[in-house]
Amino acid sequence: MYHYIRELIESKYPKIKALNTTEFIYQIEYISKNYQFLTLEDVRSAIKGDKCFENGVVLTFDDGYADHYNNVFPILNKLGIQGWFFPPVNAVTTDAILDVNKIHFILASIPEGEDLINLLLETTNHLHKNKDLESYLLNFWKDFNFYDAYDRKEVTFFKHVLQNYLDEDLRIEIVDYLFSRFVDEDIKTFSSNLYMNIDQLIEMNDSGMVIGGHGAKHIWLGKSSENEQIDEITKTRKFLEKINDDEDFVMCYPYGSYNDFTLHECNKQGFDLGLTTIDGVFDPCTGYPLTIERKDTNCFPKTKQI
Ligand SMILES: [Zn+2]
């Protein structure tokens, strides 16, 4: 499971949580030596029981970043490796920046040593003087015990509050306020630099890459109403139909979030494979194809192996 892949040295946002392109190349060398790259066709035939693969691996890239077209696609194309790419519809088709990405760039731009909990409280107070909201946040922080292997607890809390925990209107207001305070870039230009466009996706699809679904607005499907989920999944399918004429598609649940209804609706709309963020290895004989586990890039070496 990959996200940002770019050269961080001398970049404008060196603190963004990205894998350096050189680290990616070393990782591909390592994976090539120890695993065999599978295609979508291979995975489907393994699930059907038609074929068996030892140490099969698939590289997946979430969120539709231009990094994937600029830095990943040329490498995979040259090596004849099929990558699976999952762009959210709105990232590609609108001038907006997804909240999830605004939060990444806010975190990468906040000066070192800034107290994130204090910043959240100060910002909510500045926007809405509301004692209840302040104690609600403080209580959430006091009881917060969500563990993330790759982030400090304050960072995980900051992300949770702004991605999911507060009401949508308030979350958007705070994120927009912090984005203009700390990042201060033109949204339209930033968006077109951050994400791939439809022509690039079509080019990648035509070169043998897999373009799958990652929702429209990039929301937590497992926490959304049935109607919202139907809307998200329908928009995702219609978007993919513009890229190729496949009958079956792959879904990658944003934030890895799904519930029984998500699986039912994805299945109904022609998604035969679904990728989660559950850490693990998928067994095509015993696993359920709509809840495929993945391993994070951080689980594999990123330096030259001797
Ligand atoms: Zn995502």
Distance 87 CA to ligand 1 centre (A): 8
Distance 279 CA to ligand 1 centre (A): 15
Q: What is the pLDDT of residue 155?
A: 93
CA–CA dist 143, 202 (Å, integer)? 46
Q: Where are the beta strands (DSSP E) in 179-281?
A: 210-211, 249-252, 271-279
* Spans of all domains in the chain: 8-87+196-299, 99-188
- Which one, of 60, 28, 73, lies nearest residue 282 by Cα? 60
What value does the mean pLDDT take over residues 24-50?
Answer: 95
Residues 84-95 have pLDDT tens digits of 999 999 999 999
Residues 215-235 have pLDDT tens digits of 999 999 999 999 999 999 999
What value does the mean pLDDT take over residues 62-86?
Answer: 97
CA–CA dist 52, 66 (Å, integer)? 34
Q: What is the pLDDT of residue 133?
A: 86
Distance 63 CA to ligand 1 centre (A): 5
Residue range 8-87+196-299, CATH number = 3.20.20.370
Beta carbons within 10 angstroms of residue 16's beta carbon: 17
What value does the mean pLDDT take over residues 142-156?
Answer: 87
Distance 86 CA to ligand 1 centre (A): 8
Distance 147 CA to ligand 1 centre (A): 19
- Burial of 243-267, coded b for 16+ CB within 10 Å and e otherwise, reads beeeeebbbbbbbbbbeebbbebbe
**1-5, 150-154, 278-282, range with the lowest pLDDT:** 150-154
3-state class (DSSP) for residue 250: strand
Distance 258 CA to ligand 1 centre (A): 13
Distance 141 CA to ligand 1 centre (A): 24
Distance 254 CA to ligand 1 centre (A): 5
Distance 214 CA to ligand 1 centre (A): 7
Whether pTM exceeds 0.95: no
3-state class (DSSP) for residue 146: coil
Tell me: pLDDT of 306 over 80.
no
